[in-house]
């Protein structure tokens, strides 16, 4: 049986401040570090061995993975950082307070931008200093690949092909994989793995710092899944 662990990063400073984060590089809070360490403890307790881990270019996910690894008895030898696993780009909403934007645009519109499958927020101006094109960490990426805004569908279209091309081959070699990423890149991967419909994906919410343990057969069909911290578990809307 093959193990795939999906982990949303621990609480970030902008999670705490209720701000749209997207591709902005918010750091972990103390609680976020604790969540990451607890995730590592829970994984270690199950004696799951990983030779491969994947994360994004964003420090909240990278630091989550590093803090998790500190709790493991055996290190993870192969760690890959991929921008395709970044959080969804929230366009012109990035950095803004969610409650304030709900007051301005209406709660219904904000929920459409946050949770719908194919409706992106307004785009971020390419000249904005907070645009990823203007950030050093993305200087190695083709500027044409860097979004101005994204829907979950757009996020799916970069995260899932990366998963198929780079992560599935590792899983097919019957090696366990850990992915430490973000709410929406993981929602996209869950949509693919669990065959969640466009309509139902609106309801999927992934809590910070709580590993989803997925058992796969040798054809990568999901056999079983569960959150490791059952006190903070959410519904996954498994459709297979």
Residues with Cβ within 8 Å of residue 16, at least 6 apart in sequence? 29, 31
Domains and CATH numbers, the chain: 2-92+161-232 (3.40.50.1240)
Cα–Cα distance measured from residue 43 to residue 52, given in angstroms and rounded to the nearest whole number: 14
Q: What is the pLDDT of residues 54-66, one digit of tens each?
A: 999 999 999 999 9
Cα–Cα distance measured from residue 39 to residue 222, given in angstroms and rounded to the nearest whole number: 21
Residue 102 has pLDDT above 60, yes or no: yes
Residue among 9, 89, 131, 182 flagged as catalytic = 9
User: pLDDT-based confidence at 115, cuts 50/70/90?
Assistant: confident
Q: What is the pLDDT of residues 7-63, one digit of tens each?
A: 999 999 999 999 999 999 999 999 999 999 999 999 999 999 999 999 999 999 999
Cα–Cα distance measured from residue 236 to residue 197, given in angstroms and rounded to the nearest whole number: 12
Give the pLDDT score at 65: 98
Q: How many CA atoms lie within 13 A of 79 on its CB side?
A: 16
Cα–Cα distance measured from residue 84 to residue 162, given in angstroms and rounded to the nearest whole number: 7
pTM higher than 0.85, yes or no?
yes
Mean pLDDT of the chain: 94
The single-letter DSSP state of residue 128 is S
Q: Active site includes 9?
A: yes
The string over 67-91, giving b where at least 16 C-beta atoms fall within 10 Å of a residue's C-beta and e elsewhere, is bbbebbeeebeebebbbbbbbbbbb
Residue among 87, 89, 182, 213 flagged as catalytic = 87
User: pLDDT-based confidence at 240, cuts 50/70/90?
Assistant: very low
Which phi and psi (to 5°) does residue 26 adopt? -70, 145
């Amino acid at each position: 049986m093959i193990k795939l662990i999906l982990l949303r990063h621990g609480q970030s400073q902008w999670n705490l401040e209720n701000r749209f984060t997207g591709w902005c590089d918010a750091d972990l809070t103390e609680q976020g570090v604790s969540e990451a360490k607890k995730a590592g403890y829970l994984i270690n307790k199950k004696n799951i061995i990983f030779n491969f881990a994947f994360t994004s270019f964003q420090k909240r996910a990278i630091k989550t993975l590093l803090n998790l690894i500190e709790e493991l008895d055996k290190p993870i030898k192969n760690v890959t950082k991929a921008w395709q696993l970044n959080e969804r780009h929230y366009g012109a909403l990035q950095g803004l307070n969610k409650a304030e934007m709900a007051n301005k645009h209406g709660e219904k519109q904000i929920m459409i931008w946050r949770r719908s499958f194919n409706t992106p927020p307004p785009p971020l101006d390419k000249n904005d200093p907070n645009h990823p094109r203007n950030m050093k960490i993305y200087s190695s990426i083709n500027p044409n690949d860097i979004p101005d805004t994204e829907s979950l569908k757009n996020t799916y279209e970069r995260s899932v092909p990366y998963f198929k091309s780079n992560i599935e081959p590792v899983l097919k070699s019957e090696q366990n994989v850990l992915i430490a990423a973000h709410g929406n890149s993981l929602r996209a991967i869950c949509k693919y793995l669990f065959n969640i419909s466009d309509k139902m994906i609106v309801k999927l919410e992934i809590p910070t710092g709580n590993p989803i343990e997925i058992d796969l057969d040798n054809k990568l069909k999901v056999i079983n899944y569960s959150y490791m911290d059952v006190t903070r578990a959410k519904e996954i809307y498994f459709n297979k």
